Amino acid sequence: MSKASKAKASKPLTFDQAASELPAAEAQARALSSAYSEAYEQCILQLRALHAILARQGAKSKTALRRVDELRAVVDAGEGRTVPKFELVPNPMITQGLLDAVASGEVATKHEASIMAAKNQVVLVGGLARVKGKTEAQFMAAAHYCHLYETSQIGPMQATDYSQVRVDTSGPRQDQVSASQDDTRAELDSCRRALGARAASIVDKIVVHGLSVRSLCENLKLGQGGQARRRLEKELLDALDVLVGCFNLLPREKGKPTGWRDADRPPLVLPDEPEG
C-alpha cells in the first residue's frame, strides 16, 4: 500500500469533521448546479439561433435551386430558337431597271435599294450564335467553315427525266462530283488538320450541327456548371481563331505606302564643264 492510502486509512472521517464540512460542500454543489443550468440554457438559446439561421439559409438555397430549374426549362425550350441579326439586304421588290429609271428621272417614285432584314444566325453558324464574346472575324470563319462542310457533301441525286432517250445506264457518271467539291474537301481537310481532332469535333458539333455549348458539355460529361461551359466556349473560340488564320480573315497591317515616289532616285549626273 502507498503512504497516502495508509494515511487515509489511519485517519477516518469523524462526525464533527463531516458536520463542519457539509454546509460548505452543499453550497458549492448548489452553485455548480446553478452554473450548469445557466450554461445549459445558453446552449439551448444558441442552438435555437443556429437552427433559425440554418433554416433561413436552407430556404434561400431551395429558392435559388427552384429558380435555376425554371431558367433551365426556359433555356431547354428555346434551344432551337432563332437568333436574329438585322442587316441591310437588297430590296427584292425592285429591279435594277427600276433603279436606273429613278436615277434618270423617268420614274418619280422613290424606291430604296436596300431594306433592313433579320437574318437567322443559327442557320449560318449553328450554336455559335448563342455564344457571347465572339468577334466578327470568328463569326465569318465559322460561317465559311460551315459553308465548306455543306459544299463538300455529295448533293442529292437529280430526278430522272423519263421523256429523254436512255443511252447508258451502266451507273453514275463521274461528273456528278464536281471539281469544286474536290477543292472544297481539300480545303476542309486542311482546316481539320490545323484544328486537331478535339477542336475539329467541337466546331463540327456546335457550328455545323447546331448543338449548344451546354448540350455538348452534357454529352462530353463535363458537367452543367458555368465553369465547364466557359471552358468549352474558350476552346471553341480558340479553334475559331485558328480558322481565322486559315482563311486569312485578319485585317492586313497598314504599312508604309509604296509608289513611284518611294523608290530610290538615280544619282544626278551633271554634264562635264567645258575646259577654258
Checking if the pLDDT of 261 tops 80, the result is: no
Q: How confident is the model at residue 43 (pLDDT cuts 50, 70, 90)?
A: very high
Q: What is the DSSP string of the chain?
A: --HHHHHHHHSPPPHHHHHHHHHHHHHHHHHHHHHHHHHHHHHHHHHHHHHHHHHHHHHHHHHHHHHHHHHHHHHHHTTT---EEEEEEE-TT--HHHHHHHHHTS--S---SEEEEEEEHHHHHGGGGG-TT--HHHHHHHHHHHHHHHHHSPPPPPPP-TTSPP---SS--GGGS-HHHHHHHHHHHHHHHHH-HHHHHHHIIIIIS---HHHHHHHTT--SSHHHHHHHHHHHHHHHHHHHHHTT-SPPP------GGGSPPPPP-PPPPPP-
Q: How confident is the model at residue 23 (pLDDT cuts 50, 70, 90)?
A: confident
Taking only the tens place, the pLDDT of each residue in 138-179 is: 988 998 898 888 888 765 444 555 555 555 555 545 455 567
Taking only the tens place, the pLDDT of each residue in 206-223 is: 988 888 888 888 888 887
Taking only the tens place, the pLDDT of each residue in 188-199 is: 899 999 999 999
Average the pLDDT over 26-49 and give the result: 89
